[in-house]
Amino acid sequence: MTDWTTADIPSLSGKTVVVTGATGGLGYETALALAGAGAFVILTGRNDAKGLRAIERICAQFPNALIAYEHLDLASLPSVADFAQRFAASNEQIDLLVNNAGVMALPERQQTEDGFEMQLGTNYLGHYALTARLLPQLRRAKDARVVNLSSLAHRTGAINFDDLQSKRSYRPWPAYCQSKLAMLMFSLELQRRSDAAGWGVRSVAAHPGYARTDLIPNGPGADGLSWRVGQLLQPLISQSAAEGALPTLFAATSAAAEPGGYYGPNWFYELKGPPVPAKIMPRAKDFASSAKLWDVSATLTGVSFDEIAAAA
């Protein structure tokens, strides 16, 4: 497993895949590899022009790729609902959902269209609602998987139920860490709920380590001393977006990826390297907090897994 690469991805012919945030970075590399393995891949993003360019780039590398682009803004619950409705109208099932899209450590507090703090809303709540709305299509597939992108940042994260939207006190990094802890808790809780209710969905989480993507250069402090020091060390401690996508691809395609598993790079502090089981902090395993977060998320988004499952 420590030498796992994209060459180990099995044939995905006949599989339908959705990758969020797939117009660049980790999402693009994930979509590229899955398309190369024969899956029908639907790339989603907020920037339609970037989406079309991503399609062109993939087709240039894989002329016979089965790919499409759909607009999806995870910071808008109406956009999530609209995408899910369009998807259901033309696709009977979904074999793999990769919840990859995200924003990182925004310098100033911003809100989504629905009034959520932008990082929590985009990175987590939008994906929670999307996964719930696609549950009927996931259940129709054999061994459907949901892969949720967390981060090393989850290790210092905490779910602040008293100020979940960071209205009283906003700090960029704690808000980001909270959103990534929420994604890992969601992934583990989704597996528990799937097992209990018989949904037949395999939920797996992954993180890219320190991958060189636009998230970091576009984040806060790009001109600060710590950022400049990080740039000097980057060749030693980081990896490319393509390498950073390997844990996601392992979680998405390998028969060895366990339900409820979490995968990341194998090098020091899980910063880079081939995929291996990753460290999960105790907070992410807190059953009571995870159940509470699930219920709070259903209330905030107005989307209930149980109601959708019952109506399917």
Domain of residue 179 covers 6-304
Give a yes or no: residue 310 inside a domain.
no
Distance CA 198, CA 194 (A): 6
Instruction: Give the pLDDT score at 16.
Output: 98
**Mind telling me the catalytic residues?**
176
Give a yes or no: residue 149 inside a domain.
yes
- Taking only the tens place, the pLDDT of each residue in 208-242 is 988 766 654 445 544 444 445 455 555 556 688 89
DSSP string, 230-297: HHHHHHHH-B-HHHHTHHHHHHHH-TT--TT-EEEE-SGGG-SSSEEEPP--GGGG-HHHHHHHHHHH
The percentage of the chain sitting over the pLDDT mark of 70, rounded to a whole number, equals: 91
Give a yes or no: residue 1 inside a domain.
no
- Taking only the tens place, the pLDDT of each residue in 5-17 is 999 999 999 999 9
Instruction: Give the pLDDT score at 269.
Output: 85
Mean pLDDT of 274-297: 97
Phi, psi angles (nearest 5°) of residue 43: -85, 140
**Among 91-100, 160-169, 198-207, 268-277, whose mean pLDDT is lowest?**
268-277
Give a yes or no: residue 274 inside a domain.
yes
What pTM was estimated for this model as a whole? 0.94
Structure tokens belonging to residue 193: 């709920």
Closest listed residue to residue 283, CA positions, set 185, 186, 210, 195:
185
Query: CA angle at residue 104 from 158 to 148, to 5 degrees?
Result: 70
- Work out the mean pLDDT of the chain and round it to a whole number: 93
Beta bridge partners of 147: 98, 204
Domain total for the chain? 1
Give a yes or no: residue 168 inside a domain.
yes
- 8 Å CB contact between 241 and 213: yes
**Among 29-33, 100-104, 176-180, 207-211, whose mean pLDDT is lowest?**
207-211
Closest listed residue to residue 175, CA positions, set 293, 167, 289:
167
Flag whether pLDDT at 255 surpasses 90. yes
CATH number of the domain encompassing residue 160: 3.40.50.720
- 8 Å CB contact between 212 and 234: yes
Give a yes or no: residue 312 inside a domain.
no
